[in-house]
Structure 1
Amino acid sequence: MKTLKLSLIFAGAMMSASAFAQDLTGTWLQIDDKTGSSKAVIEIRKDSKDQFIGKIVKVTPRPGYTPQKSCNGCPAPYTNQPILGMDVLTGLKHVEGTNNYEKGKVIDPLAGKIYDAKVRLAANGKRLTLRGYIGVSALGRSQTWIRQD
C-alpha cells in the first residue's frame, strides 16, 4: 500500500511538472546571441491547431542602434510588414513527453530570412533555447529567451 501511495505521488508530480514544462505561452525577452543584449519582447500564444506562435510586442532599444521599422527584403506575407506586431515564430509543435518543440518557422526581420525552428524549454520553465537553422540543425544559431511573466 505504501508503494502504491508513493507511486501515485510520483506520477502526480511528474504529470504536473510535465504540464508546466509544456507551456510556452507567455511573454519572453529575446536575447541577441551575438551581443548578449535584449532585442525584443515576444508574446507566445497557442493557436487552434495546438501550435505555438510568437509575436513581437516590443522592440528593445539598444545603444547605437536605430530600430528598423519594417521587414524590408522579407518574403511574402512579411514584405514591408511592420516589425512591431509581426508573428516571427509560427507552427511550433510540442514533442510529447519532452520539453522540446519542433517543426516551427522563425523569421529574422532584420535579414529577411526564414529558418526552420525548434525550441528546448528549461526544466524550470523560465528559459528557452530557440534554434534557427536551414536543413540541418547543426548548421544554425541558437538564442536564449527569458520568461518575463
Structure 2
Amino acid sequence: MKNLMITCCALLVSVFTFAQSTDPVIGKWQNPSGEGKIEIYKKGDKYFGKLYWIKDANKKDEKNPEATLRGRKIQGLEILTNFVKDGQTYTGGQIYDPKSGKTYSCKMTMKGRDKLDIRGYMGVSLLGRTETWKRID
C-alpha cells in the first residue's frame, strides 16, 4: 500500500510539472500562403519565433532598412521577438516582415490547440492585419 501511494504521488507530481512546463504556442507553425514555416520557442520569460523554412531557401533580406543586413538569408531569421504570455494571448512583441522590410507591433492569440492568430499593427491594434497560422508536426 505504501509503494502504491508513493507511485501515485510521483505520478501526480510529474503530470503537474509537465502541465506547467508546456505552453500551447511553442512549436512549429505554417503561414497561410505556405511559403514559410516558423518555430516558436521560449527564451527566459519571453517568446520568440524564427523562420526555419521558406520556399526559396536562398532568398536574401533585400528590403531590410539597414543596408548591412540586406545580404543575409531570410531562412533562419528571428521574425517574432519579445512576446509575454497573458492567458491565451501573447503581447508586447514585434514581427518582422521580410517581404516589406518592416517591423510591426504584434500580438498572438491561440485559437484552439492548432490555430494561432497573428495580428501585426502600427500604433493601435485596430489598424492592422491578422493571419491565422496552423500548427504542423
Q: TM-score range by the shorter chain?
A: 0.7 to 0.9
- 1:143 Cα deviation (Å)? 1.0
Give the match for residue 104 of structure 1.
93
User: Which runs of structure 2 are paired with 1:123-138 in the superposition (5 Å)?
Assistant: 124-138=112-126
CA gap of 1:115–1:53, structure 2 versus 1, over 3 A, is same
Could you say which residue in structure 2 is the equivalent of 1:54?
49
Distance in 1 separating the partners of 2:40 and 2:26: 5
Q: What is the root-mean-square deviation of aligned Cα atoms in Å?
A: 2.6
Contact residue 68 and residue 110 of structure 1 kept, 8 A? no
Which consecutive unaligned segments of at least 5 residues does structure 1 have?
A: 1-14, 32-36, 62-66
Deviation at 1:137, TM superposition (A): 0.6
Which amino acid letter does the alignment assign opposite residue 120 of structure 1? T
CA distance in 1 between counterparts of 2:83 and 2:103 reads 14
Aligned counterpart, 1:71: 61
TM-score, scaled relative to structure 2: 0.77
**Whole-Å Cα distance in 1 between the matches of residues 82 and 21 of structure 2?**
20
Aligned equivalents of 1:46, 1:30: Cα separation in 2? 20
CA contact (8 A) 1:20 1:125 kept: no
State the match for 2:37 in structure 1.
Answer: 41
How much has 1:70 moved relative to structure 2? 1.3
Write the deviation string for residues 39-97 of structure 1: whole angstroms up to 9, x where unpaired.
2000111002x111111111136xxxxx77111131349822210000011111101xx
Partner of 1:9: none
Q: Which amino acid aligns with 1:44?
A: I
Unaligned 5+ segments in structure 2 are 1-15
Counterpart amino acid of 2:39? E
In structure 1, what is the Cα distance between the partners aligned to 2:24 and 2:66?
Answer: 29
TM-score (norm 1): 0.71
User: Counterpart of 2:30 in structure 1: which amino acid?
Assistant: L
Partner of 1:4: none
Q: What is the alpha-carbon distance in structure 2 between the residues aligned to residue 41 and residue 132 of structure 1? A: 17
